[in-house]
Structure 1
């Protein structure tokens, strides 16, 4: 890859081909923020069994990392290797990687039209420092994985569990109320009560929490 201050890459394949070697060459610090496990899977190096002496690896994920087996396996592998892992209350606002404080890779939002995702590889020192500062701010407001796993969920009755599954499935209120055999008004009242119980400020957050709970507790 050239030494341009900013290089734009399109798609995971180009990211892996042109930037993958930069990730492999990390020496001191590797910071990664991702909303889902697959964001950097094509290019970021697979976690070794143990980290090299002096190498700091920090991984920041949103609650969605719990919703499928790949996320669970990723967390297990990273933890065993010695990486520091934290879970943010919501998906990180900026999915990014910072390598040795000299290079940052920013992931653009996914295209609704299914077009290749765009990544920006940045070497400009001030920009890299800014991205790292944003990461540190998000890191400080997140919870380490061990503590997060120990945090108890509210006890739910059968009706609340049904609503939880409907939220996780992404059903509309109308479809969910029909499936559960309750009125639309009753379903919406149960959703509002469940959101309050989960500490969710929006339907989106409630859906993420639902995925998280169902992923961590298969009997939910």
Structure 2
């Protein structure tokens, strides 16, 4: 077993040699110091390693016969270590609460408590990752292109959903112009994201637990890198929250691809038109719809014509409205 940042045992404070020897003993009834000497990592003397493991209660000497060591059952051996670790973490949390209260109560220069400017690609990525790690309840996003290099509409969202957070995202209609973007959105919706689309999203924005907002700074001169503004509790943050809530009410809900809304026209659902309706309701052109569905422009036109005939609609607008009334609009 390699020891790195993902090693779950590293948090318990075991030295690499101690962990290697203990894991070796777990697989067998017992072993002599000589047998264990070849297992340890590093230059530590095996008697020092075994003495440390004994002090921690992880190994014991086998009674009678030549000197041999056996592993103590992990469920017993690590219980006290875990309790000690939990106690230290709880103490650290209490101390951090005191520090945070002092931080909030400290004298502030005018405007210092409201906004913070973070510049530079590395600094921005690090700060955004930190903010998302401390999110506990909900992350709301206004999403629109262009995206920074290496990012897309899904950046960061999947991890938040895996952690069980509520994620609400309003996508700019232009997000759907990019081939494959609908598939990305559908994957996130399947994972639990609540998604809506709006003809024009005014700005990219992330709201974290209604206590922080992150707004990218547009139009940075070439060579100056990325920049974001972090907004803390204030009238400005309240205004950004109201902006999101207002846009959320206006935006069109994207239906779940795994739970299509019921339709009166069964042939309409049976012919796989749900994605077409979603894109029509989003206001995309035939060309953009063709890119998303991987179809030719002419095929898309034929399917739209069939949809309009199925719904008794005379225009694309009527088709979208009819489809919305029959279940695709969703709850606002």
TM-score, normalised via structure 1 length = 0.62
Q: Whose relative contact order is higher, 1 or 2, with alpha carbons under 8 Å and at least 6 apart? A: 1
Q: How many angstroms does 1:111 deviate by?
A: 4.1
The answer as to 2:219 corresponding to 1:143 is no
- Give the equivalent residue in structure 1 for 2:291: 215
Whether the 8 Å contact between 2:160 and 2:167 is mirrored in structure 1 is no
Question: How far apart are 1:67 and its partner, in Å?
Answer: 2.5
Asked if structure 1 preserves the Cα contact closer than 8 Å seen for 2:139 and 2:166, the reply is yes
Q: Per the alignment, do residues 60 and 8 of structure 1 end up closer, same or farther by CA in structure 2, a change over 3 Å counting? A: same
- Structure 1 residues 110, 80: closer, same or farther in 2, change over 3 A? farther
* Greater Rg by CA: 2
Q: CA RMSD of the aligned region, Å?
A: 3.5
Q: 2:173 matched to 1:63?
A: yes
Structure 2 residue runs without a partner (length 5+): 1-102, 105-112, 256-260, 262-273, 298-332
Task: Show the counterpart of 2:202.
Answer: 93
Quote the Cα distance in structure 1 between the aligned partners of 2:202 and 2:230.
Answer: 18
Q: How does 1:1-220 map to 2 (within 5 A)?
A: 4-36=113-145, 38=147, 41=151, 45-48=156-159, 50-53=161-164, 55-69=165-179, 71-90=181-200, 92-111=201-220, 113=222, 115-146=224-255, 149=275, 150-151=277-278, 153=280, 209=285, 212-218=288-294, 219-220=296-297
Contact 1:60–1:139 at 8 Å: present in 2 too?
A: yes
Distance in 2 (alpha carbons) for counterparts of 1:139 and 1:86: 7
Distance, in Å, in 1 between the alignment partners of 2:287 and 2:144 is 13
Matched-pair contact (CA < 8 Å) for 2:172–2:199:
yes
Query: What does the per-residue CA deviation read over 1:65-110, in whole Å, with 9 as the maximum and x for residues that have no partner?
Result: 22234523431331121010001012x1021100001000012224
Give the Cα separation in 1 of the matches to 2:229 and 2:168.
Answer: 20
Displacement after TM superposition at 1:46 (Å): 4.3
User: What is the alpha-carbon distance in structure 2 between the residues aligned to residue 152 and residue 97 of structure 1?
Assistant: 25
TM, length-normalised to structure 2: 0.43
Q: 1:60–1:87: 8 Å Cα contact kept in structure 2? A: yes
Measure the CA separation in 2 of the matches of 1:82 and 1:51: 9
Alignment partner of 1:93: what SS? coil
State whether residues 103 and 123 of structure 1, in contact with CA within 8 Å, keep that contact through their aligned partners in structure 2: yes
